Amino acid sequence: MAIENKKHEALPLRDRFGRKLNSLRISVTQKCNLQCFYCHREGEAASNNEMTKEEIVKIAKIACELGMKKVKLTGGEPLLRDDLPEIVSEIAEYADEVSLTTNGVLLEEYAQSLFNAGLKRVNVSLPSLISRRFKKITKKDQVQQAKNGIKAAVQSHLHPVKINMVMLKGINVDEVPKAIDFAQEVGAVLQLIEFEPIQPENYVHWKKFHYDPVSIENWLKKKAISIQENPLHKRRRYTLEKNGDPVSVEVVQPMHNSIFCQNCTRLRVTSDGKLKPCLLRNDNLVDILSLVRQDANSNELKEAFRKAAMLREPYWKGRNGRYDQLSSGSGE
């Protein structure tokens, strides 16, 4: 008797622009143990209708069957869920890669168990290396815990470990060289991220703290020994070298960036079970959790995904509203 392969052969799901969707980003909770003023909360409206483990896994399984074989778990803070290792383990039966975004405060305790459960890689938010600045941004004095979490993730063989640093004018931009040194020291990749005002309360802070990463990127170009391009969003990845050791720095520049949007191959799921075609919009959501709770069959659930795919379009458009940099390739 043939043994069923739980990693189903995928049929690629494409949107109406021909872009292949290959990754799913699932928010597993809105709860968080930090209060970062720039947090976009995955573009979600407030809700207390959190999905169960079984519901999350079922939705992820359907996505994998449609070709979205990379699944990223996010929040809020995913590590506040006691069942996170079980969620990772069960999704890993279907996905080629399960990854995580976290603020890192609890990661030191859980990194090894998450790796053992099947987690492949992790992104850790680290807005500052300096205690008083970290507290100003997050309302908590836990920078050391976040650093320890990053180190534990590397030691647990999660790879790559990416450090996410949202650049904030007048707060942390001067720390970029030190952040590069820290990433090199621990064996991580540094991602420098432009502040996006997704939630209404973000706008007042965005006007004060938004930093255009162009000057940082020009500095990196001069320092880099090589420059590559990540297929996802066409982000540039700069490899620098210090004392003979390389370190990678990636720049994430989404604002008013048509190339970034047009090369997006991701679909999102909100913590209350809605398929979200775009981080910046909430007027085109598809409720899949209701279907799951009504015991809809796999074909009906796949149809919800297809509907969400057809609602996808680049938020930032090119000149004259054109989509001239569309990608049908893969991303990370």
Query: pLDDT tens track of the chain, all 332 residues?
Result: 333 444 544 568 999 999 999 999 999 999 999 999 999 999 999 999 999 999 999 999 999 999 999 999 999 999 999 999 999 999 999 999 999 999 999 999 999 999 999 999 999 999 999 999 999 999 999 999 999 999 999 999 999 999 999 999 999 999 999 999 999 999 999 999 999 988 878 878 899 999 999 999 999 999 999 999 888 778 899 999 988 899 999 999 988 888 888 889 999 999 999 999 999 999 999 999 999 999 999 999 999 999 999 999 999 886 655 555 555 444 44
DSSP 123: E
Element (H, E) at 193: strand 189-194
The yes/no answer on whether domain 22-317 falls in CATH 3.40.50.1390 is: no
- CA-closest candidate to residue 270, choices 282, 260, 261: 282
Alpha carbon distance, N-terminus to C-terminus of the chain: 37
Q: How many Å apart are CA 22 and CA 25, to the nearest integer? A: 10
Domain boundaries, the chain: 22-317
Q: How many Å apart are CA 331 and CA 329, to the nearest integer? A: 7
Question: What b/e sequence results for 142-174 when a residue is b if at least 16 CB atoms lie within 10 Å of its CB, and e otherwise?
Answer: bbebbbbbbbbbbebebebbbbbbbbbeebbbe
The type of residue at 237 is R
In this predicted structure, what is the pLDDT of residue 230?
82
In this predicted structure, what is the pLDDT of residue 259?
87
- pTM for the model: 0.92
